[in-house]
Structure formats: C-alpha cells, structure tokens
Chains A and B, each alone.
Chain A
C-alpha cells in the first residue's frame, strides 16, 4: 500500500511559548511535596537548622525545576505530519515532525494523540512516544491513530509533554493539527472477481487473453489465476511461479457497484469492491471501477489502484 499522503504544510504554526505551555507537578511531585511538608514539620519540631536547610534546598530544587521543565518544552514548533493511507480497522501512523527553534537540546519529550474529551482511563493508557530534539534540530515521532471507518482520519489535537529534568513536574502543550489521512474501506467480501469472460456481458474487449506472449516468471501470489502457473518449473521443485505476459496479453475486469448488490449495505458493498480492487491489481488485470456518480476507466498500477481506493474511501463523504 503505497503513499497516499494527505498533508497540509503550513508555516502558521508558532513555537511554544509561555502562553501555551502548561506546568503542574505530577504524582511524583505530589509525593515529594508531601515528604517536604513532613520534613518541614520535623525541622520545626526539633528546631533543626540543617533540617530547615535541606527542606528549603529540596523545595528550591522543586521551583528551579519548574523553569527547567518549562524550558525543555519552550521553543518547540510543530511542523507537519505525514501518514500513509490505511484500511479501516488498522492504525494510521502519522510521522509528526517537530522543530526545536531554541538553542537547548530537548530531552525526554513524549508525544501522543490527545483529542478533547478523553476519559481519565483513556488518558492514563494513551499511547505516547518518547523522543528528543537537538538544538535547532528537527525530529520525527510516530503517532499511531486507530482508523475505525473509511473516509478522512484527522490527526487532531496532539499533546507534547515532558517531565525532564527532575521527573516531578510535568510540562505540556497542545498542537492543533490540520492533517488528515485517507482511510480505505476494509477489504472484505466473498464474491469472486467478476472476470469479463465469465460475465460475458460484452464489456470485455478481447475475448481470450493471449497466453502466448509469455514474457517472464514471478513468484505465485494468492489470487493469481491457476491457468497462469508455470507447471513446468513447479515440477522441478522450485517455488510456484506464475508466467507473466506482455501488455498485449491483458485481461480486463469491470468492478461494478451493481454486481455487489447481494452484499447488502453500502459499507459492505464498498468493502467488497475494495477487496476486488486489490485482487485485480494483484492479478495483473486491467480494471475499471463503476460507482454511482463516479466511474474510473480501465487501468492498472499503483496510482490507478490508489485512485480507485480513494474513490471508495470518499464515496458519499
């Protein structure tokens, strides 16, 4: 499944500054805070000068740590994200590129998808990726997002977070992104590929594709017609090979919305068509796609396949 990239590269993203960076102690910070309170009470009770000093020093670390944790996020700019199209039911992996506009190396950053309205539990288990960016450098982090259905899948809001350097404070910010990726229908269905010769409805332009114009062999893949298998080489106990034929030897298949009627609902019919597109591409067919209000002429190759899949993905969207 090759590149169908939906990307909006934009220069309007600003580096993170103090208006957009949040900071708060995390649960380890609260634990330390509690301990500091106990240490302070102890120091007061025993009037222990060094106890006071230590308590105030660690409390000072806490406050100084705030500046450093903020600094570890400030100046990071969201650049763009790229993702390859996926089928429904898979996860789209957005490769998110961030830029460090500051002169400080950013350590221990975490990034992940963070849509609004996540439940507590979802927040806790949200997938995060750890990365770092060197001074004035860029880095790319994968953000996987589950694609439940066909259509456009938006990357949506991202959260970038760090608790560097002390692990007791969490500093975070949101990137509102505008990228989306196309999600194809889930390839599914048990109808056989409607060969033109079987259908015998006059669409086929050559009645019997020539098998004479043999050009080379390639390894057998599921979906290849049995007729094309090179039985001679198979007899020599080599892997199953398929004969490939020159352009003139093409077969054609018309993938029609109408023929999928038995599949039932729209999504199921799109799934069947999607599966056919993949089978046709794999089987070296010339194929055309007929959808209500959209038809794609005969063709072959990845670009053609993606065009068909895109049409299926965006049907009635």
Chain B
C-alpha cells in the first residue's frame, strides 16, 4: 500500500512533543538511551528533509540496521534490569519503542499512533511524581499533543499554526469540566486489579523501623513533608504535639527494633481532658505506621492499635493516606504484663557497663523512680551535654561513648541513652520515635509536619502513673520541644522565620499559600480515594448509591454539560453578528478620532450622510463600508465578513485641514 509522505514540519512537531513528554524522565534514563533517542529522531528528521535515506523497503540494509538497533535496545534493557521489567524498565522500553516507531513512521496511521502514545507517555511520569507542577506540565503537553493532532488533520487546509494552538487550547479547556465530573463521579474501585511492580513506589523517605545512633539525622535535614494534620475543633499546644510512630523496645546494644511480640490488644487506657479530633494526610513511606497524636482513643476503624499503642495500617502506605482519628494527650495506661515488664527492662548483658554503673549509683541513692528520672534529666541539663545535629562519631559502645565521652548528640542519642539508664535502674522504659511539633500554615488552618521534625523520646513505666512520656532532649535543648527544630538547624537548613524583614514574611506568606494549595491538592486530587468519594457523595445527599447508579449519574451529568457546551459551541449567530458590530465599532472609533461622533439615536445610514456632508473626500469609503455593514447586519445578501474587515482596516481618515 502506498503511503502519504509526512512532511518535515509535521515530523518536527511530533518529535518536539515527544521529547517534551519524555523530558521529566531524562535524568533517570541511561545516557546511551537518551543519545540513541536523539540520534534516531534526528535521522528521521533528516529523512523527512530528504537529506538522508530512511530504512524501508527501498533500503534493505538500513532496515536491517534498524532491526538490529531494536533488538539491541530490548536486550540491553532486559540485561540492565536482570529481567525484572518493572516501572523503570517499562518506561525505558517505551521510549526506545517510540524512537524506533518515529523512524519507521510513514503514512497517516503511524503518525496518529505516535501522537496517541505521547498521551500514554505522560502517564508513566505519574509513577514518579504527582505534584501540582507535574499536573501543570501535563496540561501543557496535552495541549501541545492536541495541537499536533489538529495541525496534522488540517494539513491540507490554510489554517495558520497560531490557530492550531488556539483550537487545541479551546478543545482542552472545554474538556476540563468533563474531566472534573468524571474524576469526581467515576466509580472508584479500591485495590489493585493486578500486581504492582516492586519498584513502583521506590524513592520515598520516612522513619525506619530501626534505630541505631546516627540514623534520624538523615531525616532531620530533609525538608520533605511527612504528613499534614488538620484539627477539628480544639488543638493541643505546640509542646504537646508528639506524633507517635514506631515504638522501639528491643535492643542488641547497638540497634533498637520494635518488639517482636506486638499484639493487637491495646491495654485499657484511662483518658481525661479534652479529646482532639483531627485528620492526617500521610505521605507514602512504604511501611505500615500511621502517625497519631499520643494516645489514640478512637481510630474510627482506620488501621489497628497495637499493644504499645501504635496505629498500624493493614497494608504498607504506598500512596497518600488520609484518616480522621481522635486522641487524648491526658491519659493513664497502668497495665503491664510480666513479659512486657521483662521486655522493657532488657539490656544486653555485656553492653553499656559504664551506664549500668551510673544507674546503680542512682538506684542506691534514690528510692523513688521519679527521683532517678530527675537525676538523669539533671545530668543532661547540668553537665557538658550539647545538643548537636552533627555529633562526633561514637566509638566502641555507642551509649557509653555518648554518655561519658563525646556528650554531643541529638534526640535519638538522648532517648536511647536515657532508656538504657532507666532500664539499668529497673524502670521499664522504651524509645518512641515519631515526629514532634509541626508548622502552622498561616493561609489555611493546618499543620505541616516535615521529615526534619522527626524525633525520638522515651516512655517510662511508673508504678503509680503508668506509661509516662519523658523527653530527655527537652532537658538539654528545651527549644527543640517548644518551638520546633527550626532554631537548631544550621542556618542553611533554616527557612527564614524571622518576622522582622518584610521580604522574609512575604516569602513565608508565599510559601504558606503554596503549602495550602498543596494541601488541598493532596486532599482533593491525590487523596481522592473510594472512601473520600463515598464521603462526597454522602454530602451530596446521594444515599444508597452503587456503581450502577453512579455510572448513570456520571452519564447524566456529562450529557447535561455536553448539551450546554453544544449550545455554546454551535450557536454562532450571536457571535457572528457580534463580529460585525465590533468591526463597525472600530470604524466609528476611527471617525471619532477626527471629530465625527455618531449620535446614539443616529442610524448608520444617517451617520454616513452626515459624514459625507462634512467630508466629501471620505464619501466613497464611508458609503461603501456603511453599505457593507447594512448588508451584513440586516440584509440577506451573502457577503464576506473579511471584506468588511479589510475595508475598515484600510480606512485611515485624516483630520480635515481647515
């Protein structure tokens, strides 16, 4: 079959679009792939310009070379990923495939397929990023792809490129409401339909399930958002904002881990004070922790509460999760089984001899547990302990080295050493990691908790009060707890929070605005889950809906919109007459400039006569334009609007010479 040859301009536009669609992937691609891609598309471009032969039936050797490149690319990607064709390999394969497809593209069908695949290519980008920026970029590329489609479809017409852009923009703008309707109403089905490649969610950071001294500091320097929280009603004070995460009980002397014996039967908690109800929007972090404030008294069926009062999701949090729960900061949990007591007192036999010795002296000196705690805190406060995010390395027994040699560290050093001291003194204790504090968004009312707010503290079991939080970091750096970590960060890491400079506060305001937009984006777009959809539909008063009724509703709403749009798109009478009037108005304006104004009551004809009377030199033009206008506006004669337009444009009256 003979194919229509695709012109250079169309090939060039398609390649530009394709490159833009691929652009976000560029730093993930191996260099060879990027070069190969550019080389193949350039080859195609030169072919279209008749500067180079293209592979095809006429050039068997080149065709062979193309086949070789194809096989080579596929094998290379296969080997590079050791046969594990997941997300990254899939994107690379698609890019290689598209470059080859462009090369052998001939005829209309191939052109359309490549353009469609550009839409598809945009999707691959969303496995890596789903920010507002990504969405805006997507929208721009969609308009560009649509432009390419319009341009190619109208390739035999006299349509200028500017109009292609305009048309594509218009189409996209009209499609956006349909997109919103479908997004809200399309029945959301929970859960994957088939397997998800293992690398689909890599590259997300968060607290780990282990703690060995020196690991949280990595998070401390990360500005990424861990989660956002919005309180419904009362809100605790800043120093009560302890977001509990992994509870670490088990230690081998170096590394702390969670208890191997975590059950799903939380001991009864006596709560007092006011309940805090809040919604958490959690960023994906790959593990099952859900963060909550202190003791969660009502999890609303979101996840499970374990015996050490952690909230666990049923599945690893691989995408943004949103949950609304109730917490109490005033609570008593005074239940400890014997095995739990043993677990929370355990220190490896040969570890931390100096710490153990210190604890024993305290045990002998003080009778009450509280006095021992106070002694420990006083030690941190009084001696040469320094809160530092860049502590010197710890040699040998890390706890002893920290307590007695370097005495510099941050939250996890203090928490771990404190727990060791307590356990050595016979007080059940454990490390709790999580986040502390949070930054208020001034535009919208919610807190942003970033990775650098990661914190570690201790909980001790007191016979008369149950589990009690002790934050030894607060003893050495009280600011860390009351105002957040910001002040303690090196200035480079610190966002200028000083309210003195107006530039600073403007910057802050801007950042908060952006943060507020992001929050809504996350909540309404990225977090639009089956549950969220259910809530929205309930709010809309759609009760007892199912997938069937939802699809009917979707169809009806879309159809109504299409009907409205049809009226807008297809009605031209008004638009056309508006055009005529606008052109005539231009003509009037030109006359007004030379002092000839049309009276509101004057008909165009009367106005024309008056103008001709005073300016006989303009008679011919003015009469012609007026006649055309009357014809177009009121007549039945078919006259081209462009004619009137060009006449008015050419009409350049000069002021009368007196």
Residues of A within 8 A of B (CB): 27-28, 31-32, 35, 38-39, 41-61, 63-65, 67-68, 70-71, 74, 99, 102-104, 107-108, 130, 132, 134-137, 163-168
Contacts and interface: CB of A to CB of B under 8 A. Distances in A.
A134 B642 contact: yes
B570 A132 contact: no
Nearest to A47: B319
A103 B569 contact: no
Interface stretch (B56-64, B186-194, B377-385): B186-194
A313 B126 CA distance: 70
A65 B119 CA distance: 16
B182 A51 contact: no
20 contacts: A31-B116, A35-B117, A41-B193, A45-B192, A47-B529, A50-B126, A53-B179, A53-B183, A53-B525, A54-B122, A54-B126, A55-B123, A56-B183, A57-B176, A60-B177, A63-B562, A67-B565, A136-B639, A165-B171, A166-B146
Nearest to A102: B572
Interface in B622-658: 638-642
A165 B154 contact: yes
Contact of B153 (A43, A56, A165): A165
Interface centre among A39, A50, A70 (most CB of B within 10 A): A50
Interface centre among A52, A57, A136, A166 (most CB of B within 10 A): A57
Given A61-B171, A103-B572, A167 B156 contact: no
B366 interface: no
Contacts of A70: 570
Interface string B166-204: 011001101111110011001001101110100010000
Contacts of A167: 112, 149, 152-153
B127 interface: yes
Contacts of A103: 572-573, 575-576, 579, 641
B116 A60 contact: no
A70 B194 CA distance: 39
Given A45-B194, A107-B157, A134-B642, A51 B179 contact: no
Contact of A63 (B172, B175, B575): B175
B386 interface: no
B159 interface: yes
B120 interface: yes
B172 A61 contact: yes
Contacts of A64: 171, 174-175, 178, 565
A109 to B, nearest CB: 9
Given A28-B112, A56-B183, A48 B120 contact: no
B79 interface: no
Interface in B121-168: 122-123, 126-127, 130, 134-135, 138-139, 142, 146, 149-150, 152-159, 167-168
Given A54-B123, A102-B572, A108-B157, A166 B149 contact: yes
A165 to B, nearest CB: 5
Contacts of A136: 638-641
Contacts of B190: 47
Interface of B: 108-109, 112-113, 116-117, 119-120, 122-123, 126-127, 130, 134-135, 138-139, 142, 146, 149-150, 152-159, 167-168, 171-172, 174-179, 182-183, 186, 189-190, 192-194, 196, 200, 319, 525-529, 558, 562, 565-566, 569-570, 572-573, 575-576, 579, 638-642
B119 A54 contact: yes
B172 A57 contact: yes
A49 B127 CA distance: 10
Contact of A108 (B119, B154, B575): B154
Contact of A71 (B116, B138, B570): B570
Interface SS of A by simple majority = helix
Contact of A60 (B153, B175, B526): B175
B518 to A, nearest CB: 13
Nearest to B149: A166
Given A32-B116, A60-B175, A49 B525 contact: yes
A54 B145 CA distance: 13
Contacts of A41: 193
Nearest to B177: A60
Given A50-B135, A52-B186, A35 B119 contact: yes
Given A71-B569, A135-B576, 7 more contacts: A38-B120, A46-B196, A50-B123, A54-B123, A57-B139, A61-B172, A64-B178
Contact of B120 (A35, A56, A57, A68): A35
Given A50-B134, A68-B569, A60 B154 contact: no
B154 A107 contact: yes
B576 A48 contact: no
A239 to B, nearest CB: 41
A51 B150 contact: no
A4 B527 CA distance: 74
Contacts of A166: 146, 149-150, 153, 171
A163 to B, nearest CB: 6
B178 A59 contact: yes
| A-B CB proximity, top 4 nearest | A60-B175, A60-B178, A103-B576, A167-B153
Contacts of A28: 108-109, 112-113, 116
B171 A65 contact: yes
Nearest to A75: B572
B156 to A, nearest CB: 4
B639 A39 contact: no
Nearest to B180: A56
Interface centre among B109, B159, B189 (most CB of A within 10 A): B159
Contacts of B573: 103
Contact of B142 (A58, A108, A168): A58
Contact of B570 (A61, A67, A137): A67
Contacts of B155: 108
Nearest to A138: B638
A67 B566 contact: yes
A48 B566 CA distance: 31
Contacts of B139: 57
A60 B174 CA distance: 8
A17 B641 CA distance: 23
A63 B558 contact: yes
A164 B154 contact: yes
A71 B150 CA distance: 15
A103 B126 CA distance: 42
Contacts of B196: 45-46
A132 B160 CA distance: 14
Contacts of B135: 50, 53
Nearest to A34: B116
A58 B121 CA distance: 13
Contacts of A108: 153-157
Given A74-B570, A165-B153, A60 B194 contact: no
Contacts of B171: 61, 64-65, 68, 165-166
Contacts of A135: 576, 640-642
Given A46-B127, A67-B562, A103-B576, A165 B178 contact: no
A161 B642 CA distance: 26
Contact of B200 (A27, A46, A50, A137): A46
Contact of A49 (B528, B558, B562): B528
Nearest to B522: A49
Nearest to B639: A136
A63 B178 contact: yes
Nearest to A48: B126
Nearest to B201: A46
A56 to B, nearest CB: 4
A100 to B, nearest CB: 10
Contacts of B175: 57-58, 60-61, 63-64
B166 to A, nearest CB: 11
A41 to B, nearest CB: 6
Contacts of A165: 149-150, 153-154, 167-168, 171
Contacts of A48: 123, 126-127, 130
Contact of A57 (B167, B179, B527, B529): B179
A207 B606 CA distance: 77
